[in-house]
Structure 1
């Protein structure tokens, strides 16, 4: 029996839909949707990077169904960013796609009422790895000023299934992790920390059996050792995608906004 995806709910906050930010040769044009608060701005912008094990999902996927409303009501623009999935192109295509979105938004910042000096990323799961890499490697017109990561993997080189060519990280990297350890480290936020990295907030379930909570702890320790602010918000008893959390997902969106208010002002 065919299983159909539901009809998407109207997005009341959407102001610019289907913005083409890049057209990689041989691939579909990559787009973003932009939600901008009313008013003159300029507004800080959060790039939403969806999850899906690098192999599924799109920019319209959100974990918090009121994510955009919460962000916009508190003065943040949101850019929902598409990137090539692993079976379309291997890493670092995904990093290049997010960088292209950042460049496009910064280039058009005045027209879009965005503040080019207050760009943040918020990624979940596989999107958390991509968001963290964007934050750690961006410079100049791709620079990111803050990062919020929801249960993202930070060390691809030590993941399980090292010899499986069909494991999700292997699909991202183009082959078994055990055969490309150096490349896996290159794609791992943990191995890209440096003293000039922007501040991070890590929100992670303590019972996550897909991306263990210990990954967030180790990543935070590595960033702090470089003198970089890294806050950790443990979600007690929650698994991956905050399954089993005792509070609604919107609580974590609001916590992220509180963090951004703190680090992007002044």
Structure 2
């Protein structure tokens, strides 16, 4: 069958009529949060919220954890998971963390928490991941009144690959060329405070994983195209080892004096992302005059393995930082 107005029918930005006059509804770019579920005495949660759709990709989802019985609009922190840009899920915390600890502790402090998925490196190359998270921030501002959150008091917290991405959120709030155009429009994607747990700061300077075959068993790598590098930094930029592409995807390349304040937390024994990555970002922030603090966890490996006895204090330090920088109701 031939449809004369096939171009119009496929355009999701318009309401058009099929032959015979039947209206074709506009395809939704995102969904409203809906009704939250009771999660605990501390939290209510909106689960599986589609914050953005992109043609050709899976819907991008977030969960929004809200402190129960908040008297007024609360600050909000966006949590971003790690996983070497290749793995991970918004609902998964590092294996050293108690299940749900980040969401619960923020809610106990009177701070809302959204945890968002983003496209992995074989789904889309950088800057798609940053575009996704900027869309998540704009979505939360779009529905700030409904969610009882304060759009002027947003922070971002991430670990490992998520630390890299929240650092970029804190550094590129005024970069219109990096917004990406997905999801809700008409709102800033900036944040007012960043907590970066052992994130990558310079992809050019990150040491290679020495035994990728041992780290990634064949059942995990079966979908990787033959000959494709398993190094996370190369996968992030489309499989390239071009230093210019790697630098463009690195937080240290985007530091300006108007960046958000940072708390950088890193173990001194991190075997995957060395502490020198935090040192590079701290030096760049200092040179630009950006407020920042560095906390070094003695004996801490990646995910703070080896420092599990310090984890309660580490998480409390991060939550306290947001409470001070964002305020509480």
Whether the TM-score (by the shorter chain) exceeds 0.5 is yes
Are 1:164 and 1:170, in contact at CA under 8 Å, matched by a contact in 2? no
Aligned mates of 1:215, 1:164 — CA distance in 2: 25
1:174 correspondence with 2:238: yes
Q: Equivalent of 2:45, from 4, 15, 19?
A: 15
Q: Which residue of 2 aligns with 1:4?
A: none
**1:248 Cα deviation (Å)?**
4.1
1:111 correspondence with 2:146: yes
Q: Equivalent of 2:108, from 73, 95, 106?
A: 73
Deviations 1:174-210 (A, max 9, x none): 1232xx2111111101111100000000110001111
User: Under a length normalisation based on structure 1, what TM-score does the superposition of the two structures give?
Assistant: 0.91
* Structure 1 unmatched ranges of 5 or more: 1-9
Are 2:74 and 2:111, in contact at CA under 8 Å, matched by a contact in 1? yes
Aligned mates of 1:185, 1:262 — CA distance in 2: 32
**1:263 Cα deviation (Å)?**
1.9
Q: Which residue of 2 aligns with 1:257?
A: 319
Aligned mates of 1:164, 1:190 — CA distance in 2: 26
1:61 correspondence with 2:86: no
**1:29 Cα deviation (Å)?**
0.5
Q: Which residue of 2 aligns with 1:148?
A: 195
* Structure 2 unmatched ranges of 5 or more: 1-37, 175-186, 210-226
| Residues 233 and 101 of structure 1, relative CA distance in 2, 3 Å threshold | same
Deviations 1:29-57 (A, max 9, x none): 00100011122321111101000111111
Q: Equivalent of 2:73, from 15, 28, 42?
A: 42
**1:67 Cα deviation (Å)?**
1.9
Q: Equivalent of 2:303, from 241, 245, 265?
A: 241
The 3-state SS of whatever aligns with 1:32 is: strand
Q: Which residue of 2 aligns with 1:202?
A: 264
Are 1:40 and 1:113, in contact at CA under 8 Å, matched by a contact in 2? no
The 3-state SS of whatever aligns with 2:188 is: helix
The 3-state SS of whatever aligns with 2:67 is: coil
Are 2:261 and 2:290, in contact at CA under 8 Å, matched by a contact in 1? yes
1:134 correspondence with 2:169: yes
Deviations 1:224-262 (A, max 9, x none): 211111101110011111010152423222101111122
Aligned mates of 2:71, 2:63 — CA distance in 1: 19
The size of the alignment, in residue pairs, is 255
Are 2:121 and 2:236, in contact at CA under 8 Å, matched by a contact in 1? yes
User: Under a length normalisation based on structure 2, what TM-score does the superposition of the two structures give?
Assistant: 0.74
1:91 correspondence with 2:126: yes
Larger radius of gyration: 2
The 3-state SS of whatever aligns with 1:153 is: coil
